[in-house]
Copies of this chain bind each other. A is one copy, B any other.
Amino acid sequence: MLRKKTKKIKVGNIFIGGDAPISIQSMTNTDTNDINKTVDQIKELIQAGCEIIRVAVPNMKAAQKLSKIKKQINIPLVADIHFSAEIALEAIKQGVDKLRLNPGNINSEEKIKKIVSACQEKNIPIRIGINAGSLEKEILEKHTHKASAQAMVASAEKHIKILEKHHFYNIIISLKASDIERTVEAYKILSKKVDYPMHIGITEAGTFLRGTILSSIGLGYLLYEGIGDTIRVSLTADPIEEIKVAKEILKALNLRKKGITITSCPTCGRTEIDLIKLTQEVENALKDNPKNIHVAVMGCVVNGPGEAREADLAIIGGKKVGLITKHGKIIKKVPEKNLLSEFLKEVEKYEDNN
């Protein structure tokens, strides 16, 4: 898992690409015209772990509210703009930290020049956001009317060329399809051709479970291959869930170490304690613990001791009793009913000593 070295690009008070940590982003689903509702949702998302926030800017009225939103938050604000140069220019004026804009959608060379100049002046990057569902007609025609990975890459290259022609290189790129294969393929192809940072995501991934699985496979595959500098999990669900899933994806690949890692076994016919309940209790009790500890909750002595050896602290369940181990060594044997409280004491002690 060797991360591809991309260009490091400043976005407000953070960076995307290069050696910057892979950042998590989401998008509000409030009406951007409603400043209070939008700011409230952004604050909730920040609380959950969101590091970059994008808002839809469907009209000029919404664009004119962006500075008021930005003033009340402490993470980069991205304006999502589709066809209007005027809205883009207003968003830049309002002080947003990044635009999501496909320059090919602006049908005047003059206007593109204006947007690029305004971005250059304020050092604001532009994300080119390719979406398989909205490729240009001429690109589709060249690719037998199929929104293939190759067509997505061709579209991205077209937009990149427009910006580069104006000597603008402050670019981030995304290539999203609603399925894993095209998405992965498109990022793989373009990653070999350019070194702009990649915003990765599967678009329209679906409801919570399906979307989580699609995003985990797709983003997981790309990250494992070293592709991806910022991630968006798209779910038809509360955006808070997107952040939770994104954090777990990064943790699962050891790309983010903050917090407790809990290894726990599936239940089976050998389990003699209430493992599901106990594991959930351990998880709940430790969910906001900021220390980097690996904890294991194991149901029986078959795989228990081996896994416990790899964990900092572990519970190994037996018959109405449990062992607590530290780096694989048994330090306590306690009745099931005291297992949680005794274990949490050990977690607390562990932090004190380390």
Interface residues of A (CB under 8 A from B): 1, 27-32, 38, 55-58, 62, 80, 82, 131-135, 147, 178-181, 184, 203-207, 209-214, 216-218, 220-221, 224, 234-239, 242, 244-245, 248-249, 251-254, 262-271, 275-276, 279-280, 283, 296-298, 302-307, 309-310
Q: Which residues of B contact A249 (CB under 8 A)?
A: 213, 217
Kindly list the 9 A-B residue pairs having the minimum CB-CB distance in the complex, ordered from nearest. Answer: A217-B220, A133-B306, A56-B269, A216-B216, A29-B267, A133-B307, A234-B266, A236-B264, A134-B306
Known A32-B269, A224-B184, A307-B178: A264·B207 in contact at CB below 8 Å: yes
Give min CB distance, A79 to chain B, whole Å: 11
A306-B177 Cα distance, complex, nearest whole Å: 11
Cβ–Cβ < 8 Å partners of A80 in chain B: 268-269
Contacts of A27 in B (CB 8 A): 266, 268-269
- Are B266 and A242 neighbours in the complex by a CB distance under 8 Å? yes
A249 to B268, CA, bound (A): 22
CB distance from A148 to the nearest CB of B (A): 11
Q: Which of B180, B236, B303, B310 contacts A275 (CB 8 A)?
A: B236
Q: Given A216-B220, A267-B29, are A207 and B283 neighbors across the interface (CB < 8 Å)?
A: yes
